[in-house]
Structure 1
Amino acid sequence: MARDLPIGNGNVLINFDAAYNIRDIYFPLVGQENQSSDHLSHFGVWSQEGFFWIDHPEVAKKLTYLPDSLVTNAECAFDRLGLRLLIRDGVDVQQNVFLRKVRVENTFDYERTVKLYFHMDLQLNGNGIGDTVYFDPELNSLLFYKGHRYLTLSCLSPDEAKAKPSGYATGQKGIHGLEGTWRDAEDGALGGNPISQGSVDGIIELTMTLPAKSTKEAWFWVCFGRCKQEVERMERLLRTATPQVLLQRTYEYWVKWVNRDEHQLSLLKPELASFYKRSLLITRTNLDNRGAVVAANDSDILKFAKDSYSYVWPRDGALVAHALDRAGYHELARKFFDFCLKAITPEGYLMHKYNPDGTVGSSWHPWVNSQGLKQLAIQEDETALVLYAMWHHHKLTGTLDQSGEDYEKFIKPAADFIVHYRDASGLPLPSYDLWEERYGVLAFTVSSVYAGLMAASRFAEYHQDKARAIYYADTAQQVKKAADQQLYAADKKRFLRALYWNYETQAYVPDDTLDMSMYGLFDFGLVEKDDPRMAATMQALREKLWVHTDIGGIARYENDYYHQVSKDVANVPGNPWFICTLWYAEWLVATAKTANDLTEAENLMRWAIQHALPSGVMAEQVHPFTGAPMSVSPLTWSHASFIKVTQEYLSKLKQLTAQGANQAIDASEDKMLEPAMS
């Protein structure tokens, strides 16, 4: 089930599913240590007329955020029971506290007693072995702990002067046929068991009296810490400052943060500007405060291989950092580059992927090839694109004079590795492609290597390292020349996706599969956008990879097998991906000559908006017939792609508008110079 409405502060990340259940709770790192591990935490309501959990099919929901913020606005109505809830959730921007404000409306014309139930099913440290939960009478809270992980679950009743639940229960679940304490709530009376250990869960109850046709507010919160003293301090703060103060400051912070963007968004149509800002906010939820740019934190993907997307792929991170840099969020990009400085190997390359704490992540890339010979289990574009993004970072921030450490610790070793990791023709040696499926010389990788070397040359020139400046630039030109000679198929009048080394023939075998990642040829400057060969390649990509269903969109490549839905590859070459559709929009923007030429690009941007969830969350891909999100959701890369294409669109719109105005002035002046007609 897709993750909707992520909220966080860079230390804590909370993910909801489409029914507004809490499914993922990450702490103390975004993407590492899922304290719930996809176990469902329930929220329920009891009245004399009936009981329901928030995911009951009769509960009508509208799940969004408050505008320009990371505070949710979940409208839930169970009309048969005469109850409506307005739930606003946020993670405080200063303290590691999850806050929930619940406004309960009694729509019936008589007074009622209503009980709210907040249940938590935790797997501390990512597993359910040896957890403890107990009711702490001093905190009036449930306290969960194991090792250096402490969480408290508390509430505030509107009918009492202090925070105190009207009931609680702790218990075991997932063993001996036990489902959990949430079942204890359905009769409106909790058992009150004060402590449990092992595989445990817990629930608290808050009781309120609502007069006829009235509304009241209630509060719940969860404090996160590494020791009991830490959560005790936060509990005291909440009872002093009140949760309302914390939620309000969180809302105001995000509104101010997202409107820091340096682009003139007023030139955009309101729905495009709004979605651009939403993409910035959702991207921020997957960024850890220590620099990790996490690809996705949807634990639902665990069903497929018992592994997740909660890793830092340096390629994704570089492209996300670049988009954030262009938006003016330089401090976030800087933290990512610091992450890479620590991660780079002594040999000068970055590994496949990393855990959010900087350790090397899991991998399926082998270190030996089919001949039993050693090969590097890397994707070379991941190293090259960090070089590329780092150059643009220092240019945009005006900090080239502070780039000495980057140059010595990352630029030189990475560029030197790339220079030497080439064959006799000048092409990069094989590595894994950006899709992590094939080992060869990929057009996307070659393009990124060219861009990385050009960036390294510019760094060297700035730092008066003249020999390296020339060396890196010359090597980039050798890569470009080799690509022109070997990656272009004259008979097809377009570029190839890849070359694969054949050990029997001792020669490269061309792969002419159309793959949307070939857009990188122009985006990273290897091929000029006005080159007819590039235009022919992009036209072929659009024709072959468009999904011919009511959903539309662009697939990754011909006959894409990943989560494949249809074998009718002539009409459905693969599932439509957000990034691929937006890449083609980038091409349209780059080649637009008039403002009218931007229409198709804008339509593709709107396609992304239309196929996102109502909250604005974009998945990796969508079902080609239903449009439902597939694979992980949200995918940070999808949102970064929307951010970048919007920035390109705005830049081109301003340029073409200015040209049009100048042409109008010139035409007017020419007309004034014409002789008058007799």
Structure 2
Amino acid sequence: MRDIPVGNGSFLVTFDDKYQIRDVYFPHVGQENHSEGFPFRFGVWTPTKFSWTFSDDWSRSLKYLPETLVTDVTLENREIEVRIECNDTVASHDNIFLRRVRVTNLNTAPREIRIFLHHDFRIYENKVGDTAYYDPETGSLIHYKKHRYFLIKTEPQFDSFATGRKAFRDKEGTWRDAEDGTLSGGVVTEGSVDSTLGMHLQIDAGESREFFYWIAAGTSYADVAALNEHILDQRPQVYFDYTANYWRAWVNKNDADLGDLPSDVIELYKRSLLIIRTQIDNDGAILAANDSDVTERATDHYSYLWTRDGAFVANALDLAGYADAARRFFDFCAKVVHPNGYFLQKYNADGTVASGWHPSWNAYEQSPMVPIQEDETALVIWALWQHYDRYRDIEFANRLYRDLVVPCADFMCDFRHKPSRLPAPSWNLWEDRRGIHTFTCASVVGGLRAAAGFASLFAELDRAAKYAAAADEIVDAMREHLYSKEHGRFLRSLHFNSGEHYEPDATVDASMFAMFYFGVFTPDDPMVTGTMAAIRDRLSVPGGIARFENDGYMRASSDVAGNAWFICTLWLAEYYIATAKTKEDLEPALDILKKVASQSRASGVLSEQIDPVTGAQISVAPLTWSHSTYVAAVHNYLSKVSSF
């Protein structure tokens, strides 16, 4: 789990709950993690004891300064009588991580306190062949390999330093060298290396000393040296002030009328927008989450673009008035779409195809398969139409129509299960089963109707009629094949075992909110109300709404349907919003918004799930989709309020 991420779209730094830097991404958000999740330690020496701030001797408060991407961190150790207050940020327009450190001597006598900052780079995501050295020209420590350079410096100048071997034979690293309060001063080391610098501060009783620390990231020595010179010319405090002011202006730029929303809901809404921005690469990819801890249980991570998640996030940004980020996402999609008109499971931030587990070959039937979740294709087109409908940027729409909309819509028209007229089997949004899914069908209807809108806009009436007809056929087929009169609600899916044989899956699944959300059926249609009642009644667990019945993923207790997911809980709020006829009808939705705000971490971060037993956030954090779903729900709530 990660907290207080700071970034600018090309340089992202994340922390764990102990305030250790754990992930350093450059030059893309989510791509090239130059720490591989290993901690950058923070140590404090006093004449009586040395202590790492990750130890249980420290109390910690990890927050942000209001309406900024500048952290507000307080660390305190009563045993050694030291308080440390830190602010961290990544400069809004330069690849510089900055930290301001204020150290207070809580002792009744003057004394020296030494601060040690450790760096465990694994450049290009491996520890082999790195170099760390002291550079006298810049007075800095530099780690580099090939085209990646990281320059580390302080003001005032650090008093001691060491470079050395780590994770090699009996060498743990230079952080161990710091524990006696004195660094060896090794000036250069190659191979598997780390470094530590020391600040020696003479502080009177009850007084404080302050220093600045920064890491400049670049692709050459000249890059980082120039950034270092720029910091020294502009002054570190000016960078802090500029960056804080920039983010305050950014999060308030649209002067959104937030009505009479409670202050905690407004605070999480704004924090969500800022956190979402840290997870978006400047080239357009919207990353699901950047938390390398997940690799310990999955041997992979969430630092990828799933176009489904990206489409939901882009739509939330559009609702909030951040059209530029959404446009960059759609441009990215136009570059990576498959020649056959669909999106693969996930992508890296540079546009390359990411790791995946959807097979292209059916070993049982000895036949090829399309390795996709079709909703990922449909939702990009749906979100693009929502974007156009809001901003009416016809030049932008025209640019993407031929390269993105038409091939995807043609694919959705053709990728059909002919006996039922539903979309052909593909993987579901949870990526755990293949079949014909209610969520996927609803998203395809939304995507095809969006494509029909674009075709009409550009006077291609035959195409518009084709896409609209295909959407209507799927709606009729959903009534026939996916609605269960026996259960009085929709089925989750039709599960295909082999050939054309399938079995209905009546599992209650929160994703079936899609039926009204994408306009397939009206919110008050009895088929929808029966389904949503089942979701509310059978998926409610302590903490919110579970994904589906008997969800085994990271399951905390067999006594409930599964863990609560923030997105699923907020989808129920969307239903309350959609069906409200009076402002009083919106109270259940507002209660959910307030509940989610109360469940956020002190920093405002939302993870993927809530443990129904302990109430703690679990799985990756922050999850971009959790934050975007909150933003969308707030806007849809306000829109409904204004309609009364």
**TM superposition score normalised by structure 2:** 0.98
SS of equivalent to 2:54: coil
1:628 and 2:621 matched: no
1:420 and 2:414 matched: yes
1:373 and 2:372 matched: no
Match of 1:463 among 445, 458, 462: 458
Deviation at 1:355, TM superposition (A): 0.7
**Residue 536 of structure 2: aligned partner:** 542
**Residue 556 of structure 2: aligned partner:** 565
Deviation at 1:367, TM superposition (A): 1.2
**Residue 148 of structure 1: aligned partner:** 147
- For 2:55 and 2:119, the matched residues in 1 are separated by 18
Match of 1:612 among 579, 600, 624: 600
Q: Which aligned pairs between 1:118-137 and structure 2 lie closer than 5 A?
A: 118-137=117-136
Letter in 1 for 2:603: S
Q: Which aligned pairs between 1:395-406 and structure 2 lie closer than 5 A?
A: 395-406=389-400
Deviation at 1:602, TM superposition (A): 1.6
Deviation at 1:508, TM superposition (A): 3.2
**Residue 289 of structure 1: aligned partner:** 282
Letter in 1 for 2:188: I
**Residue 76 of structure 1: aligned partner:** 75
- For 1:602 and 1:326, the matched residues in 2 are separated by 18
CA shift digits 1:151-175 (9 cap, x unpaired):
0111112xxxxxx210000111111
Asked whether the 8 Å contact 1:49–1:81 carries over to 2, the reply is: yes
SS of equivalent to 2:453: helix
**Residue 511 of structure 1: aligned partner:** 505
- For 1:373 and 1:591, the matched residues in 2 are separated by 45
**Residue 32 of structure 2: aligned partner:** 33
Deviation at 1:502, TM superposition (A): 4.5
1:489 and 2:489 matched: no
Asked whether the 8 Å contact 2:112–2:201 carries over to 1, the reply is: yes
**Residue 364 of structure 1: aligned partner:** 357
CA shift digits 1:505-541 (9 cap, x unpaired):
x343211000000001110111110101111110011
Moved over 4 A (4+): none
- For 1:138 and 1:401, the matched residues in 2 are separated by 50
Q: Which aligned pairs between 1:576-591 and structure 2 lie closer than 5 A?
A: 576-591=564-579
Q: Which aligned pairs between 1:185-264 and structure 2 lie closer than 5 A?
A: 185-261=178-254, 263-264=256-257
Deviation at 1:262, TM superposition (A): 5.0
1:52 and 2:51 matched: yes
**Residue 390 of structure 1: aligned partner:** 384
**Residue 318 of structure 1: aligned partner:** 311
Larger-Rg structure: 1
Deviation at 1:314, TM superposition (A): 0.4
Percent identical across equivalent pairs? 44
SS of equivalent to 1:452: helix
Deviation at 1:400, TM superposition (A): 2.1
SS of equivalent to 1:382: helix
Letter in 2 for 1:301: V
1:435 and 2:430 matched: yes
SS of equivalent to 2:89: strand
- For 2:76 and 2:338, the matched residues in 1 are separated by 54
Letter in 2 for 1:541: I
- For 2:233 and 2:405, the matched residues in 1 are separated by 50
CA shift digits 1:630-657 (9 cap, x unpaired):
221111000011011111111112223x
Letter in 2 for 1:88: N
Asked whether the 8 Å contact 1:544–1:573 carries over to 2, the reply is: yes
CA shift digits 1:70-98 (9 cap, x unpaired):
10000111122221111000000121000
Match of 2:520 among 486, 508, 526: 526
CA shift digits 1:308-363 (9 cap, x unpaired):
11110000000000000111110000000011000111111111100111001111
SS of equivalent to 2:210: strand
Asked whether the 8 Å contact 2:375–2:444 carries over to 1, the reply is: yes
SS of equivalent to 2:100: strand
- For 2:345 and 2:243, the matched residues in 1 are separated by 35
Asked whether the 8 Å contact 1:262–1:327 carries over to 2, the reply is: no
SS of equivalent to 1:95: coil
- For 1:422 and 1:262, the matched residues in 2 are separated by 45
- For 2:543 and 2:68, the matched residues in 1 are separated by 30
1:305 and 2:298 matched: yes
**Residue 85 of structure 2: aligned partner:** 86
**TM superposition score normalised by structure 1:** 0.93
Asked whether the 8 Å contact 2:291–2:621 carries over to 1, the reply is: yes
Asked whether the 8 Å contact 1:92–1:247 carries over to 2, the reply is: yes
- For 2:103 and 2:382, the matched residues in 1 are separated by 52
Where in structure 2 are there 5+ consecutive unaligned residues? Answer: none
Q: Which aligned pairs between 1:161-176 and structure 2 lie closer than 5 A?
A: 164-176=157-169
Asked whether the 8 Å contact 2:552–2:562 carries over to 1, the reply is: yes
Deviation at 1:52, TM superposition (A): 1.5
Aligned alpha-carbon RMSD (Å): 1.2
Letter in 2 for 1:597: D
- For 1:291 and 1:154, the matched residues in 2 are separated by 31
Asked whether the 8 Å contact 2:10–2:281 carries over to 1, the reply is: yes
**Residue 347 of structure 1: aligned partner:** 340
- For 1:502 and 1:367, the matched residues in 2 are separated by 16
